[in-house]
Structure 1
Amino acid sequence: MNYYLVAGEASGDLHGANLMKALKAEDGAAVFRYFGGNKMEAEGGELVKHYADMAFMGFTEVILNLRTIFKNLKACKDDIVKWKPDVLILIDFPGFNLKIAEFAKANGIKVCYYISPKVWAWNQKRVLKIKKVVDHMFCILPFEVGFYKEWGMEVDYVGNPLLDEIAQFLPDSGFRSNHQLGNEKIIALLPGSRKQEIERLLPVMLSITDNYPGYRFAVAAAPNFTEAYYHQFIGTRKVKLLFNNTYNLLHHAHAAIVASGTATLETALFKVPQVVVYKGGAISIAIARILVKIKFISLVNLIVNKKIVTELIQEDCNTQKVNEELRMVLEGAGRDLMLKHYDELLLLMGKPGASAKTARLIVGYLK
């Protein structure tokens, strides 16, 4: 069968690649075409557009880039109609993908949605649209099943695909020596994969590095940027820059400072104590504070439904507070408590197998 996938950011590329691998195991005749990234491209098929040209963060940034967004939407719609897939698989990225779902449904194409939009966070009435334009929804957070049921929609809970990726990870035994990391304890800096978040968060993360002479700092760099791009922020600091090594970095890290998003959950699953940071445009944040109806922004806290990791948002994301919170998780009671809470998270997350389960369901529904 012919599968058309749309992923618009780094996490979607990761989950899309794992799903493609699982679909190939279920369907020996699987053919892929997609909007995605390097990881999906490594699984075969044809990459139409890279997510680096699609990801815009926050209300203001979306408005400023509307022309590019509309251009991408048109290109995606035209390509789907031209290719005529058996099924369209949308991966997260709701602002873009719900429009594509509506278009595909109107054109008689079956729509599967993997990784639900966060409709439980704000504007919950979007579920009414999802019910109309999505044939099958596959959720990765346990509480989403009950949420959708309240709105009269049955969905499939498949577990979390990050567990699949981490289960497949094989640590590089030569990681420290290959990257001249020595024997110092490592503090990982994960500033995200989007240009806007890197430029807002990385300078704050780097501003504390001189306060920790006994530690080694390392930045998990997104593959869609160059070394020169990152070095404009790093300057002369003795900070390692690591491409395509995030899991090796987390495997060896003693602590981390992490941009809010999927990486907070990955960091927790590697049992690395962390400080979560987030900064958006002033207008975007003001609108979000009115519309968003959730207590936390990090997946770690949301899944357990209590504060496990500290979230430093907007004006709280500054050198002084990041420094204070990092010291709390480096040693002592704060660190021990966070690690204990991570055990609760792991129990709630369950076992690997989300990608395989989703692939089985998709192929079964198509048959």
Structure 2
Amino acid sequence: MKYYIIAGEASGDLHGSNLMKALLEKDANAEFRFWGGDLMQNVGGTLVKHYRDLAFMGFIEVVMNLRTITKNLSFCKQDIEAYNPDCIIFIDYPGFNLRIAKWAKPKGYKTHYYISPQIWAWKENRIHDIKRDVDSMYVILPFEKDFYQNKHNFPVNFVGHPLIDAIADRKQIDEDTFRQEYNLNEKPIIALLPGSRKQEIKKMLSIMLSIIDDFPDYQFVIAGAPSQDYSFYKQFITNPNVNFVSNITYDLLSVSTAALVTSGTATLETALFKVPEVVCYKGSWLSYQIGKRLVKHIKYISLVNLIMDEEVVTELIQNDFNSKRLKIELNKILNDYERTKFFISYYELEQKLGGKGASNNVANLILKALN
């Protein structure tokens, strides 16, 4: 079979690579052409566009890059027609992928969507496009199946969360060796996960790093995103109590005592490593004002709290994300009693997400539909 896969972000690259591996195990003749990143490229096939050239954050940034986005859409359609795949697999990235699905379905291409757009949070009217343009939807959050099937009468498959597999299958590391390799001392580690795009990294790190002198008994380690070079992060590393590692976030979390995390998939990854965290978010004023008016009916921004339907982790959003509040909340999660509460909640969270096998489940369902 010939598969055309579109993933536009780092998380999509991870989940896309694992899905490709699962498809190869079941389809020895599988051929891949894809938009994604290094992890997908390492599996094999042809990388058409790297996600680092596709990701634009916030309403203003999208508007400023509309010409590039339009060109990418046009090129993608031409590339699909030239490749003529047996199916197209969309991985998250809804602003782009739903437009391609709208074009692809009338042309007879089989459309499979892995990792649903978060229409339960905003743009719920996208359900009409999904019903029209998507043959099969594979959801990874337990409440999404009820949302689609009971509220919108659209059958979907809950396949479990792919992060369970990604974390369980990773190569284990020795903490002493890790510290030596990256010149880390014996102090407990507080991981800083500031996001993956330059705009958000600048906003997040400026506040995250403002409190390091208040925690002299800890060392802070920035988790560099695979889409950014060290030269970009160098400007932020001006304190001897701050270190940097690149593209090994899972290894860093596995040896961390606590974490300050930009909202997104990283909040769930941190929880699955059982690391107490403070969730942070700060966007441009205009983007935040627009977003606040569009996202009206959800109580939380972090996946941890959304899945648990309660405030397990503290969320510092926009003006609440400041040095004073961050210092207070970090002190809280370093308290032994509070940490025990985290571990209990994180265990319950993992049970809700289901066991291993998301990529394998999706691969089986896609091949069943194609055959």
Is residue 2:163 matched to residue 1:159?
no
Structure 2 contact 6–97 (Cα < 8 Å) conserved = yes
Is residue 2:39 matched to residue 1:35?
no
Match of 1:204 among 191, 207, 220: 207
Question: Structure 2 CA distance, aligned partners of 1:290 and 1:204?
Answer: 25
**Quick one: which amino acid aligns to residue 57 of structure 1?**
M
CA deviation profile, 1:55-80 (whole Å, cap 9, x unmatched)? 11111111111111111111111111
Where does residue 308 of structure 1 map in the other structure?
312
Question: Structure 1 CA distance, aligned partners of 2:272 and 2:292?
Answer: 28
**Quick one: which amino acid aligns to residue 161 of structure 2?**
N
- Give the aligned CA root-mean-square deviation in angstroms: 1.0
Stretches of 4+ aligned residues off by more than 4 angstroms: none
Is the deviation greater in 107-116 or in 222-231?
222-231
Where does residue 110 of structure 2 map in the other structure?
110
Deviation, structure 1 residue 235: 2.7
Where does residue 125 of structure 2 map in the other structure?
125
Count of matched residue positions in the alignment of Structure 1 and Structure 2: 367
Within-5 A mapping of 1:208-247: 208-247=211-250
Is residue 2:327 matched to residue 1:326?
no
Structure 2 contact 141–160 (Cα < 8 Å) conserved = yes
Match of 1:297, SS state, is coil
CA deviation profile, 1:90-132 (whole Å, cap 9, x unmatched)? 0001011100111111221110000000011112121111000
**Quick one: which amino acid aligns to residue 163 of structure 1?**
I
Question: Structure 2 CA distance, aligned partners of 1:65 and 1:237?
Answer: 38
Where does residue 7 of structure 1 map in the other structure?
7
Is the deviation greater in 272-281 or in 325-334?
325-334
Instruction: Provide structure 1 residue ranges, at least 5 long, that are not aligned to the other structure.
Output: none
Where does residue 183 of structure 1 map in the other structure?
186
**Quick one: which amino acid aligns to residue 187 of structure 1?**
I
Within-5 A mapping of 1:42-61: 42-61=42-61
Where does residue 280 of structure 1 map in the other structure?
283
Match of 1:56, SS state, is coil
Deviation, structure 1 residue 322: 1.0
Deviation, structure 1 residue 171: 2.1
Is residue 2:285 matched to residue 1:250?
no
Tell me the TM-score normalised to structure 1 length. 0.98
Match of 2:327, SS state, is helix
Match of 2:147, SS state, is helix
Match of 1:207, SS state, is helix
Is the deviation greater in 86-95 or in 69-78?
69-78
Question: Structure 1 CA distance, aligned partners of 2:168 and 2:28?
Answer: 24
Structure 2 contact 304–313 (Cα < 8 Å) conserved = yes
Match of 2:316, SS state, is strand
Question: Structure 2 CA distance, aligned partners of 1:303 and 1:336?
Answer: 19
**Quick one: which amino acid aligns to residue 192 of structure 1?**
G
**Quick one: which amino acid aligns to residue 151 of structure 1?**
H
Where does residue 290 of structure 1 map in the other structure?
293
Question: Structure 2 CA distance, aligned partners of 1:135 and 1:29?
Answer: 23
Question: Structure 1 CA distance, aligned partners of 2:199 and 2:100?
Answer: 24
Instruction: Provide structure 2 residue ranges, at least 5 long, that are not aligned to the other structure.
Output: none
Deviation, structure 1 residue 237: 4.2
Question: Structure 2 CA distance, aligned partners of 1:11 and 1:72?
Answer: 20
